[in-house]
Structure 1
């Protein structure tokens, strides 16, 4: 769809490639006129002047069991929130910081990850190492050692964040690294960081019962002394697994601190977990309520009400429907005679005569006559009006 289209009764005539921060709700509403808004995700501060010698290690070998059934067909890093794969938020931030050398620790559905990076990020110098056994974060990062010969950023693909990566360029030479952390109330859910008076890490306590600290470890690290890090990882792997049967990267950091390294904590402006369905939908809420919300000018609306805290993309068609808060309708999707809230509708999916909440409808999936919460993988079908009820269409 291109060019300017003649306005038809009951439609919001739009122009491709631009988003409105708020939208017209009904056919009777006057046209919405607003300055173009930049649609983007959470970003790290862009401090790039030249390419960095820093390398990034990104562990993403996990099976994403807490996000099933969606991760049966799609690796967790490629699940989409607010219209964008989780991994892309991270890669865009790294490139903005001048980091284009990346080591991906892959496993589950690794070919999809390799193909995505090659197609979407040809400017990235990518190395891949396969984690055959899911034995924890220390084991995953340890596999990257052959290519990790300089300063490192370590990031996990189920977390979205907004931080100042520029601190890595100005960090005092007495510091061996940075660990980003955020104050939380529900400290029992996280590994929390104890610090000294200078803000340097002294210890990490996993999921404490008592409030020894409210400074949660978000899983983002800068390591200047990579040799000491891998020495710590080797010691951690040699000491045997923890109670859960896994080896933790934080134990390697503790080794570094015990050896005299100073790892300073740094503040986090925004931190969004996306490790399970509820967290993924909450991340979608935060993003579509901000810069990634709005209706694309290439979307088609007819006799519909759309919340300003929602996202409707180019090529989507919404007819006779109510799109509530925290909804993403991706490109090419069709929603007819339905009411949605707290829901992500994938590209080219169809939703008809349904009421959905706390739902994820996969790419090219179809839902008809359903009411409730639903998790539907790509290329699947639910027809509550048919005698068979639920039918699976194989990809």
Structure 2
């Protein structure tokens, strides 16, 4: 079965993190998000991957090349972002026979997809506590009878996980009209498939849509320290100082250095070329990206530092996402907790949205630089290239 991975979108809900990096290429543990999707598809038995690309296409092509884990990879270009059905239509010329469709910005398990791929047509379903914010499936036994978007009174707690197994003839159903929001929707294709006959479903044990910065944190919480954690080839590197303390599931890649007095409590992944310490403290689910630097007496807690980010000495960063080449001046502190106990609120596409997290720090876009002794409030987003003055308290987005 061919597997189409939809990876053409920019990911505007990720805010400044995608100004220079397409969302499917954002880091989740030891691989970009889209590679985790490709892994799950291959583990489920896909014999060819077709990746639909658009924004940042060259980055994705360069990453995968012509094969992934021994499976051929081909590419289709979506010329403009006109919806998921349009993205699938761009890949239609590469399809021959039954095919699966996966979102390039979601987490799946290969075992779940293997069950989904057993027959067509089928839709992946996932059980949630509050289905009213999703496309909700109405089912009759093993058959889906309806899919309703964000219903006020959901018929079930099964939601559309955005992954499908389609018969070959589905390629003739892709020319759907634009929806009210001006996009050609894959859910309209699903409605056409249902009109032709029974649509089955498979309940997934794991699924996560990674659309917003705090969901990127959660994705790393689920996948860290990485797929090769614990192997002799990835631990006990020469770059770890004998006076450093490492506890739990921690991977230190070749070329990373850990200085004296450093304490690391996993799950954590230190990518090649990064440096930590001396006397730094890293805890929680933390990713230190390639070439990143964590200075003297810095504490990093449950955060993602992308490639070449620097956190100057005597700083604290908690539950935050730092984009590429961020540079925090000495004594920069990021708040990550509201004293009233309510979930932290952040901005997504101009709207204030609850993160659902009691602890959430800041989102710093690529190239942000802070002056010494900067304080950043919980839930603040700093856009690409933003600057702060020494001693400044940043209470609002900029």
RMSD: 2.7
Q: d(CA) in 2 for partners of 1:349 and 1:65?
A: 22
CA contact (8 A) 1:142 1:233 kept: yes
TM-score, scaled to structure 1: 0.74
Q: Deviations over 1:136-176 (max 9, x none)?
A: 111111222222121101011110011433335654xxxx3
The verdict on how the C-alpha distance between 1:78 and 1:120 changes in structure 2, with shifts beyond 3 A counting, is farther
1:95 aligns with 2:38: no
By how many angstroms is 1:280 displaced? 0.6
Aligned to 1:371: 333
CA contact (8 A) 2:294 2:311 kept: yes
Aligned to 2:305: 345
CA contact (8 A) 2:24 2:33 kept: yes
The verdict on how the C-alpha distance between 1:132 and 1:390 changes in structure 2, with shifts beyond 3 A counting, is farther
By how many angstroms is 1:308 displaced? 2.7
Q: Deviations over 1:200-222 (max 9, x none)?
A: 11111111111222101111111
CA contact (8 A) 1:73 1:377 kept: no
CA contact (8 A) 2:284 2:302 kept: yes
Q: Deviations over 1:240-279 (max 9, x none)?
A: 322222222122112111222x221112121122111011
Q: Is the deviation greater in 331-340 or in 137-146?
A: 331-340
1:181 aligns with 2:125: yes
TM-score, scaled to structure 2: 0.74
1:208 aligns with 2:151: yes
Q: d(CA) in 2 for partners of 1:255 and 1:169?
A: 20
Q: d(CA) in 1 for partners of 2:373 and 2:128?
A: 47
Q: d(CA) in 2 for partners of 1:280 and 1:313?
A: 17
1:247 aligns with 2:184: yes
By how many angstroms is 1:305 displaced? 3.0
> How many residue pairs are counted as aligned between the two chains?
325
Q: d(CA) in 2 for partners of 1:89 and 1:194?
A: 29
Match of 2:320 among 359, 372, 381: 359
The verdict on how the C-alpha distance between 1:280 and 1:135 changes in structure 2, with shifts beyond 3 A counting, is same
Aligned to 1:31: none
Q: Deviations over 1:25-80 (max 9, x none)?
A: xxxxxxxxxxxxxxxxxxxxxxxxxxxxx111111111211112121111111110
Q: For 1:377-388, what aligned pairs fall within 5 Å after superposition?
A: 377-378=365-366, 380-385=367-372
Q: Is the deviation greater in 305-314 or in 79-88?
A: 305-314
The verdict on how the C-alpha distance between 1:252 and 1:119 changes in structure 2, with shifts beyond 3 A counting, is closer
1:231 aligns with 2:172: yes
The verdict on how the C-alpha distance between 1:67 and 1:341 changes in structure 2, with shifts beyond 3 A counting, is same
Question: Unaligned regions of 5+ residues in structure 1, if any?
Answer: 1-53
The verdict on how the C-alpha distance between 1:338 and 1:209 changes in structure 2, with shifts beyond 3 A counting, is same
By how many angstroms is 1:386 displaced? 9.1
Q: d(CA) in 1 for partners of 2:368 and 2:118?
A: 53
Q: d(CA) in 2 for partners of 1:297 and 1:77?
A: 23
The verdict on how the C-alpha distance between 1:325 and 1:220 changes in structure 2, with shifts beyond 3 A counting, is same
Q: d(CA) in 2 for partners of 1:96 and 1:111?
A: 25
1:85 aligns with 2:29: no
SS of corresponding position for 2:304: strand
By how many angstroms is 1:122 displaced? 8.3
By how many angstroms is 1:342 displaced? 3.0
CA contact (8 A) 1:70 1:376 kept: yes
The verdict on how the C-alpha distance between 1:216 and 1:107 changes in structure 2, with shifts beyond 3 A counting, is same
By how many angstroms is 1:313 displaced? 3.8
By how many angstroms is 1:129 displaced? 2.4
Q: For 1:101-112, what aligned pairs fall within 5 Å after superposition?
A: 101-112=48-59
SS of corresponding position for 1:74: coil
By how many angstroms is 1:232 displaced? 2.7
Aligned to 1:161: 108
Q: d(CA) in 2 for partners of 1:390 and 1:99?
A: 52
Moved over 6 A (4+): none
The verdict on how the C-alpha distance between 1:122 and 1:307 changes in structure 2, with shifts beyond 3 A counting, is closer
Aligned to 1:263: 199
By how many angstroms is 1:181 displaced? 0.9
Match of 1:220 among 163, 188, 196: 163
Question: Unaligned regions of 5+ residues in structure 2, if any?
Answer: 230-248, 335-360, 375-386, 391-398
Q: Which has the higher contact order (CA 8 A, sep 6+)?
A: 1
